[in-house]
Structure 1
């Protein structure tokens, strides 16, 4: 959620930026490079984006259901509410290490 980035003071991802991905114990897992970033309302996320994310059955319906629950929990923890019109940061990336 864009609001979460703003509340937490996190930088927005930018194309060409490298990120070290860590697990829950903060152990390095891989390095990714951001290739594209879009800002769109939750209810306008495309079926193509949901498919590329590759979770579950890759359907838009499944993506919306699981992500709605996630964003509702995250918003609640930040003391805000979540609506389908809230803006999301939609990041596309490639894994660059390990290959």
Structure 2
């Protein structure tokens, strides 16, 4: 019901030829805790999942959402999804020869 209502609102309130037309309900699943949200999106994905209404929808995995983000939950959490520490160490190691050459 909520999806149908928002679809009608999107069609009515959008200017013609300005916004994408491929809005559809998509399940966003938080990989941290498994919470799921069904909202309209244009995100492309090949995965699908069944929602509580029994229908299949496209599934898009996110690393962090409002259900697990420290700003919304008030809990501190270390997020190192892209190997930021390793990237930093590699940059520092790479910079050592340049620093030694300057001296």
Shorter-normalised TM-score: what interval?
under 0.3
TM-score by structure 2 length? 0.22
TM-score by structure 1 length? 0.22
> Higher Cα Rg: structure 1 or 2?
2
Q: Choose between structure 1 and 2 for higher RCO, CA contacts under 8 A separated by at least 6 residues.
A: 1
More strand by share: 1
